[in-house]
């Protein structure tokens, strides 16, 4: 009697394993895709959010850029301050939108929907990846809308430049979303999430070289800006813009250097990508823990 029961149990177990192994990967991919799609749908439905999150970068670019620009006679080294700020403002728009997207996990938890996702028979990693890709797509899209303003600040609409910047924005968006998702794994209230991320994002943004060149800084600021990972996400964008403006090298194209070594763009991007993957991995581990 016991033997029979055990046999039927093993039988059921092996069939279960077969079922699990069969659709496994493909099934997880479907999960990534649907979680990603949901982020896009939710974003597309939220028109006010699209407009509001464009407001801040536009203020920085046109109001701050024009206002402070009048302090610098003849512009900043031949280009207007607005042009200089453009890549930084793109970065800013993406950073804040990406963090906002990551906050959706906290909302989802509060309204119960996170549970629907976490009880599904899919790898948690798939859900976390879908969330990160969704947040990154939405934030990069926000950046692309701002790219449309390039002409108004003296940046030419070159297809190659736009493509390069879009790719770089996507990477920046991904790293920030991954950070946000990682934080959202632990933070249960939306208020705490927003206060913590604002506290975190502001210094990261200010120290990223988005608003000023990173040369001729006092040592303390030099050190802080160079350990800030976002510096390596913003600098490639500025390099791309200046390379298009003055192919011969621009005095303000103050590339990030380690000592006297100019950090290659690819290495900068690789650093950011590595950080993004590391954050993603930690986030997956966080969400895998049983409740």
Partner 1 sequence: MEERATAPESSAAVATEGDGDAAVVVRGLAKRYGEIEAVAGVDFDVRRGETFGFLGPNGAGKSTTINMLCTLTQPTTGSARVAGHDIVAERDAVRRSIGLVFQETTLDSYLTAERNLRFHAELYGVPRAGLDERLREVLEMVGLWDRRGSRVMTFSGGMMRRLEIARGLLHTPRVLFLDEPTIGLDPQTRASIWRYIQDLKQREDITIFMTTHYMDEAEYCDRIAIIDSGRIVALDTPQALKASVGKDRVQIQTPDDDAAISALRQRFGIEAAVHEGAVTFAVPEGEQFVPRLFAELGVQIGSVSVSRPTLDDVFLAYTGTTIRDAEGVDPNRAIVAAFRRR
Positions touching partner 1 (CB under 8 A) are: 1, 4-5, 8-9, 12-13, 16-17, 19-20, 23, 26-27, 30-31, 33-34, 38, 41-42, 45, 108, 111-113, 115-117, 119-122, 290-291
CB of residue 4 to partner 1, shortest distance in Å: 8
Residues 6+ apart with CB under 8 A from 54: 93, 142, 145, 146
CB of residue 97 to partner 1, shortest distance in Å: 18
- In the bound state with partner 1, the residue whose beta carbon lies nearer, of 13 and 186, is 13
Three-state DSSP state, 22: coil
Estimate the share of the chain in helix, then strand, then coil, as percent rounded to the nearest 5. 75, 0, 20
Phi-psi category of 267—alpha, beta or left, where left has phi over 0 and alpha has psi -120 to 50? Answer: alpha
- In the bound state with partner 1, the residue whose beta carbon lies nearer, of 160 and 291, is 291
- In the bound state with partner 1, the residue whose beta carbon lies nearer, of 103 and 272, is 103
CB 180 within 8 A of CB 103: yes
CB of residue 285 to partner 1, shortest distance in Å: 17
- In the bound state with partner 1, the residue whose beta carbon lies nearer, of 51 and 274, is 51
Residues 6+ apart with CB under 8 A from 236: 168, 265, 268, 269
CB of residue 132 to partner 1, shortest distance in Å: 17
Q: Which of 47, 35, 8 is nearest to 287 (CA)?
A: 35
Query: Rounded to whole angstroms, how far apart are CA atoms 128 and 124?
Result: 6
CB of residue 41 to partner 1, shortest distance in Å: 7
CB 209 within 8 A of CB 256: yes
CB of residue 105 to partner 1, shortest distance in Å: 13
- In the bound state with partner 1, the residue whose beta carbon lies nearer, of 41 and 202, is 41
């Amino acid at each position: 009697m016991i033997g029979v029961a055990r046999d039927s149990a093993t039988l059921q177990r092996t069939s279960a394993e077969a079922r699990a192994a069969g659709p496994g990967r493909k099934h997880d991919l479907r999960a990534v895709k649907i979680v990603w799609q949901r982020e896009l749908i939710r974003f597309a439905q939220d028109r006010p959010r699209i407009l509001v999150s464009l407001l801040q970068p536009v203020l920085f670019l046109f109001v701050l850029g024009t206002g402070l620009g009048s302090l610098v006679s003849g512009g900043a080294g031949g280009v207007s301050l607005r042009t200089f700020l453009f890549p930084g403002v793109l970065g800013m728009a993406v950073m804040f939108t990406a963090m906002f997207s990551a906050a959706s996990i906290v909302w989802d938890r509060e309204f119960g929907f996170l549970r629907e996702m976490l009880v599904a028979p899919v790898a948690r990693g798939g859900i976390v990846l879908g969330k990160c890709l969704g947040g990154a797509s939405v934030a990069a899209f926000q950046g692309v809308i701002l790219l449309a303003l390039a002409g108004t600040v003296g940046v030419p609409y070159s297809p190659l430049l736009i493509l390069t910047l879009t790719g770089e924005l996507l990477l920046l968006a991904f790293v920030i979303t991954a950070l946000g998702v990682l934080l959202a794994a632990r933070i249960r209230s939306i208020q705490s999430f927003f206060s913590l991320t604002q506290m975190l994002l502001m210094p990261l943004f200010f120290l990223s070289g988005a608003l000023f060149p990173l040369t001729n800084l006092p040592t303390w600021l030099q050190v802080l800006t160079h350990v800030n990972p976002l510096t390596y996400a913003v600098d490639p964008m500025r390099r791309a813009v200046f390379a298009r403006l003055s192919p011969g090298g621009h005095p303000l194209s103050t590339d990030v250097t380690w000592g006297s070594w100019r950090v290659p763009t690819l290495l900068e991007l690789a650093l950011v990508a590595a950080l993004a993957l590391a954050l993603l991995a930690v986030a997956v581990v966080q969400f895998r823990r049983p409740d």
